[in-house]
Amino acid sequence: MSDWIRVCATDELLPGETAVAWDGDTPILVFNYDGDYYALEDRCSHEDFELSAGSFDADEATIECTLHGARFDVRDGRALCAPAYAPVPKFPVKVEDGAVWTRDDR
């Protein structure tokens, strides 16, 4: 299991914003949803395309892949509509020393 990686300072990731961090070869997309932080692999489960290129709906807690319109719940990674049926891997997030941290815990 890898060590925690620093994403950014908490004041650099405001509600409704996202940030991308890398844990080795794994891109991780971190969301600030109404003051709570969530992290998903930055890859659509339908087709290998970065979710960070899509739009984060901070009211609905969803991210939409720009490639084919698949939507995912940022809180747990579950697919919400076709063409995606499989969830996106979810990763742990912690806030410590004024920063947001995550890691690929697979």
| Domain 5-102 in this protein, CATH class | mainly beta
What pLDDT digit, counting tens, does each position of 54-74 carry?
999 999 999 999 999 999 999
| Phi, psi angles (nearest 5°) of residue 61 | 60, 45
Whether the full predicted model's pTM is greater than 0.85, yes or no, is: yes
CA dihedral 55, 40, 18, 32 (to 10 degrees): 110
Taking only the tens place, the pLDDT of each residue in 92-102 is: 999 999 999 99
Q: Given this model, what pLDDT does residue 1 score?
A: 59
Ordered by start, the domain boundaries in the chain are: 5-102
Q: What is the DSSP string of 13-38?
A: S-TT-EEEEEETTEEEEEEEETTEEE
